[in-house]
A = this chain, B = another copy of it.
Amino acid sequence: MSALPAAKTSPGNFFEDFQLGQTIRHATPRTVTLGDVALYNGLFGARFAVQSSDVFAQKIGYPRSPLDDFLVFHIVFGKTVADISLNAVANLGYADCRFLKPVFPGATLTAVSDVIGLRENSNKKTGIVYVRSRGFDETGDTVLDFARWVMVHKRDEAAAAPVEKVPDLPKNVEPAQLGVACPNISTAAYDTTLAGSPYRFGDYKTGDKIDHIDGITVEEAEHQIATRLYQNTARIHFNQFAESKGRFGRRLIYGGHAISLARALSFNGLANAFHVAAINGGGTLPPCLLATRSSRGQRCWPPLVCRVGKMSVRCVCAPLRPRTGHVPTFRSKPATSTIRRSSSIWTTGC
C-alpha cells in the first residue's frame, strides 16, 4: 500500500501535542435516547427500580427515570477518547468523579477537557497527560466532572519535554462537592418491595462486606457493541487483526464495561443504592481481555470506590480464572462491596 495516511485523517494526539492549560472541545455531540437505555439494559441487565420504571421514579420525585449514571459516564468518556487517549499506552487512573445533574432520555451531551498536568516519563518515549473532563447537557449545565490521567506515546522521542506539572487531585470526593444529580426524594413513597430489598440506608454499617454472588461471562460481541454505543473509538477494543500482533494478543475490553457489570451485579445487596453520586478514584487499570491461556484472573479494575447513598461503597470486580481458550467471567467476588469508614456522601438514603 503506497498511500501514506493523509493529513485529513486524525491519528490522535501524541504526548507532545498537549499543552498545559489547553481546553479541548470534543466531537461528537450525542442525543441520548430510550434506545440507548434499552441497549444498555440488554448489555448489563441492571435492575435498579429508579432507572427501570418511570412510574417508580415519579413516585419518589424524579420527573421520569434518569439514565444509569454509568451510561452517562461512558458516553462522556467516549467523546474524550479520540482527542486524549487514542495513543495511550494505558489509562492510569481516575479521581474526583462527580455526577452533578440527572440526565434523562432526550438530553444532548457534549464534552470538554482541560489539560491540567503533564509529565514526561524518564524513558522519553511516553508521558502522562492529566485532564479534567466535563460532560454538559444541551442547556450548558455540567452533568459530570472527573479527572483522569493517561500514559500517552510521544510521536517523536526527541520532542522537548513540557514543563512538568502534576496536579493535586483529591483522594476522596468531599460531600460539599457533590451535585444535585438526585432530586429531593420522597423516602416515604419509596417502595422497598418493588425496589428489591428491605435494606435501607440505616441498615448498612461501616465495614459491612457484601458478596454480590453473581457472575457474568463477557462475549466479544457484547463489549464491542457497548463500546461503540458510547462512540468510544479506542482501537484496542475492536481490531482483532491488529491486536493479535499486539501486547495481549487479544482485543482489550473497555474498562468501563467491567464497571457497568459490577454496578449491575451490585444490585443484589445494594438494591436501594440507586444513584452513583461520585467515584472517589481508582488507580491503575490492569487490562481486561477475553482470556488467553496466559491470563490469570487478574483484577480487572482496581478499588474503584463508588460512594452511594450517604455510603461509600468499595466495589471490586474481578475476572475469575478462565478455562483455557475460553472467555472470562466477571464476578463481584472475591471483590466484595465494603462499606467504608470514610464514607460521607450526600444523597438520598433509600
Contact = CB atoms under 8 A, between A and B. Distances in A.
A1 interface: yes
A52 interface: yes
A211 B3 contact: yes
Nearest to A229: B42
A223 to B, nearest CB: 9
A210 interface: yes
Interface string A169-208: 0000000000000000000000001111101000110001
A4 B327 CA distance: 27
Given A27-B47, A27-B49, A53-B31, A215 B238 contact: yes
Contacts of A28: 47-49, 52-53, 194-196
A268 B27 contact: no
A153 interface: no
A342 interface: no
A241 B331 contact: yes
A6 to B, nearest CB: 5
A164 interface: no
Contacts of A251: 217
A41 B215 contact: no
A231 B41 contact: yes
Nearest to A210: B6
A244 B325 CA distance: 13
Interface string A30-50: 110111111101111101110
A316 to B, nearest CB: 12
A210 B9 contact: yes
Given A10-B197, A31-B65, A225-B43, A240 B38 contact: no
A54 interface: yes
Contacts of A244: 323, 326
Nearest to A231: B47
A194 B44 contact: no
Given A213-B9, A220-B219, A193 B27 contact: yes
Contact of A211 (B5, B320, B333): B5
A110 interface: yes
A217 B224 CA distance: 9
Contact of A235 (B33, B43, B193, B215): B215
Given A221-B222, A242-B215, A6 B208 contact: yes
Interface in A1-28: 1, 3-6, 8-11, 25, 27-28
Nearest to A35: B38
Given A5-B213, A241-B320, 5 more contacts: A6-B208, A27-B49, A28-B195, A29-B52, A53-B108
Interface of A: 1, 3-6, 8-11, 25, 27-31, 33-39, 41-45, 47-49, 52-56, 65, 82, 108, 110, 138, 193-197, 199, 203-204, 208-217, 219-222, 224-229, 231, 233, 235, 238-242, 244, 251, 268-271, 320-323, 326-329, 331, 333-334, 336
